[in-house]
Amino acid sequence: MLRCRRDARCTRFTEWRIMTQSEKSLILLYGGDLQGINKLNTVVFTIYCTVSLYQGGTVIGSARCMDFRAREGRMKAALNLVKLGITNLCVIGGDGSLTGANQFRTEWSTLLVDLVKAGKISDDEAKTSSHLNIVGMVGSIDNDFCGTDMTIGTDSALHRIIEVVDAITTTAQSHQRTFILEVMGRHCGYLALVTALACGADWVFIPEMPPDEGWEGHLCRRLADQRARGCRLNVIILAEGAMGRDGKPIGSEDIKKLVEKNLGFDTRTTVLGHVQRGGTPSAFDRILGSRMGVEAVMALLEATPETPACVVSLSGNQAVRLPLMECVQVTKDVTTAMAENRWEDAIKLRGKSFENNWNTYKMLAHINPPDTKSNINVAIVNVGAPCAGMNAAVRSAVRIGIIQGHNMLAVHDGFEGLAHGNIVPITWTGVSGWTGKGGSELGTKRVLPSKYIEEISLTIAKFNIHSLVIIGGFEAFMGGLELVTAREKYEELCIPMVVIPATVSNNVPGSDFSIGADTALNTITSTCDRIKQSAAGTKRRVFIIETMGGYCGYLATMAGLAAGADAAYIYEDKFGIRDLEMNVEHLVQKMKTDVKRGLILRNEKCNANYTTDFIFALYSEEGKGVFDCRKNILGHMQQGGTPTPFDRNFGTKMGSKAVLWLTEKLKEMYRHGRIFANTPDSACVLGMRKRALTFQPLAELNEQTDFEHRIPKTSWWLKLRPIMKILAKYNISLDTSEHAHMEHVIKKRVSMPAPLMKKHKEEVEEEEE
C-alpha cells in the first residue's frame, strides 16, 4: 500500500514530486489482506532505501488475515491508519485483497464514527482522515483478474515454466516420450494456454474451456498423427483446475493412463508446483511493476472523495484505470459462466488478450489442413540481423498458411536468396519445434533489395509468388519500402506484402515492440544483475555497460529501469559534458552513503565523442577515493539465447495475424483472373500500437521515420526515462500531463448474454449513484 502526501505548494498535479529526503512523501505498507495495518507491521520506505530489483516475492511481506474479514478487524485497521495519518492506500494483491480493500473504503466513514464513539480517536482526527482513497495493483501469477492483459508476476512465472519445458523437450526427443506438464491455474488457464502457445504443445487443458465429449479419442488420434508425421515427442499442458464437461477433474495421471493404454507411448508427468512462484523477476515484470506503481501514485494524487476505487491495469501497451469493483464483478462473472457451462462466455469475459490466445491456439492445434488447396503461394523471408522469436513467427505463419490452403515457400538468406531463387516449399512438420529456437532457421542477411530488384521480380514470376511475409528489423522495413517503390516499374511486385518487426533494437516504425527485444532485454538485465553481484563483499564499485541498439536507446533505457541503473545514455535524449558532470557528482555523493554499487548503461551509438572508454575514464577519475570502475561491452550475446515466453507468444500471434490479413488482401486484390495489388494499404507493417495489433501502410510511415539514424521520430518509452532517474534518487519533477483516465470494463463486454449485461449495468449504476 502507498501513502502519498500532496505537496502543499502544488495545487495542480501536472507535475508532482516524489520523496525528497526532507519530505518523505511516500510510505509503503503491505501485508496481504491488510494484515500489516492491523498489526502495525509497517515498513517505511523513502526514495533513499535500497530494494533489490532482482529479488522475487515481496520484501515487505504478505499474509492472509482472517481478522480483517470481520468488522472488528477493519476497525483496528482504521484506527491504525488514522493514528498514522494515512488516507491513501495502494493495495497490491488478487481479487480477494482488492475486494476487501474496497469494502474497507466503503465502510470508512462509519468506522470513523464508531471509533469516535468509542473514544479511540478525537473529532479532529476523524475530520483530518474523513475519506480514504484506494488504488489497486494486481499481483498474481495466474493472471486471473479481469480488466488487465497481464498481472504483475505472470511473466516471471512463464519464464520458470518455459525453462522446464525446454529442459523436458530435450529428454523427450531423445527417448520419443510423451510429457504431461501440470502448471498452476486452479480457476484460470492463462499460464497453461500461453505455455502451450510458447512451446507448440499438442494439447492444452484449461478450466475455461473443457474438452468436448469424446476428447479422449481426439487426443489419442492427434498424438498418433504427430508421431506419424515424424515428431519424436508429444507435449500436453494441463492447468491444475482442468475439468471435463461433466465437471469432473482431469488430472495428469488420468491422461498418462489414457495415453499409455490406448497408444502405448512412453509417458511421463511433471507437476511444477510452487517453483512457478519463485525465482528472479523477469524484465517485463520489473518494468510493469514500475509503470503500474507510478500510475497508482498518480491516481491517488488526483483522487477525490467522489472518485471510485480504481485498479491500475495494462491494456496492450497502455496503462489504464478501471473501477475496481467492475473488474472484481467481471472476474466473478467468469466463475459464474463456468459454473453454468457457458464456456464461450467464460473465454470472452477473460478479456481480448486471453480470447486471442485461445483462438490462435485452436487454429494451430485443432484445425486440420483442408483437402482443397487455394493455389496461392506465400513466401516468407527473414531480413537483417537474427533475433530470438523469428522462428516462432515463421512457424506460425507457415502453419496458418497451410490451414488456409496456401502453398508456403521458405526463402533462405534474405533478399539475396529471394533474388537468386533460394526458395523451397516448407511443410507443417518442417517447422516443428521452431518456437523455442533462437536465431533464424531460414538464414538472414542485411542486404537490401534495391540492387537486386530486377532479379527479385523475375524470381517472383518464376515461383508464382502471390504474397510476401517479411520478418526482420529496420532492413525489413527499408526493403519493404524499396519493393513498394519499385512497383511502378515492375508489375510482378504488385502483390500484398506485410512486414513483421523482429529486431533486438526495437527500432522499426509502426510498432511499440519488436520480436526479439524482450529476449535481449532479459539478457541484459540478468547480466547486469550478475555483474553487480560479482562485486559483492568488495569495495564500492561502479559498472559501465555498453548495450546494442544502434541509435535506438530502447534497450539501454528499459534495461536501466529493470536493473536499477543510475544513468542510461542514449542518442534520443541528448546529453553534454554538464550532464555527465552532474551524473558523476550525483553518484559520488550517493556512494558516500551506504550504497555500494553503481550501474551506468550506454547505448552503443549514443554519442560519437562520449564513448564507453571516455565515460569509463571520467567516472574512474572523478570517483577516486570513493569507488572504482569496471566496464563491460555485452556485444552479440544480446542477440543469442532461446526466446523468452513473451517473444514466443508475440511471434506466434504476429505470424498468425499476418497470414490471415494477407489471405483477406488476396481476395480483395483478385481481379480478372490474377492478383494485382498497388494500393498503399496492400503493403503494411504489422505492429503493436498502444492497445492492439494494427496494420499501417509502409508509405504512411515514411514521415514518422528518421532514416539517417534508422529510428522512429517518436518513441513511447522515452516517457519512462524520468522514472528511472527518480528511482536512481535524482530530485526531479515528473510530467504527468499525459496519464490514464478512468474507463469502464462494460465496453469490453458487449457480447455478454443480455440478462447478465442488464444485471451488470444495474450494479454499476447503483455503485456510481
Q: Quick check: 192 and 185 in contact, CB under 8 A?
A: yes
Nearest to 30 by CA among 55, 67, 54, 57: 57
Collect all residues with Cβ–Cβ distance below 8 Å to 432 and sequence separation of at least 6: 200, 229, 230, 231
Phi, psi of 607 (to 5 degrees): -160, 135
Is 166 designated active site? no
**Which grid cell is 106?**
466503503
Decide: helix, strand or coil at residue 338.
helix
Write down the catalytic residue from 33, 142, 149, 512. 142
Decide: helix, strand or coil at residue 719.
helix
Q: Quick check: 223 and 202 in contact, CB under 8 A?
A: yes
Residue with cell 519493393: 483
Instruction: In whole angstroms, give the CA distance from residue 194 to residue 649.
Output: 7
Instruction: In whole angstroms, give the CA distance from residue 110 to residue 113.
Output: 5
**Chain-centroid distance, C-alpha 469:** 24
Instruction: In whole angstroms, give the CA distance from residue 475 to residue 385.
Output: 9
Phi, psi of 33 (to 5 degrees): 60, 30
Q: Quick check: 364 and 203 in contact, CB under 8 A?
A: no
Q: Quick check: 680 and 697 in contact, CB under 8 A?
A: yes
Amino acid at 434: W
Instruction: In whole angstroms, give the CA distance from residue 246 to residue 373.
Output: 39
Residues in the chain, overall count: 769
Residue with cell 483522487: 303
Cite the active site residues.
142
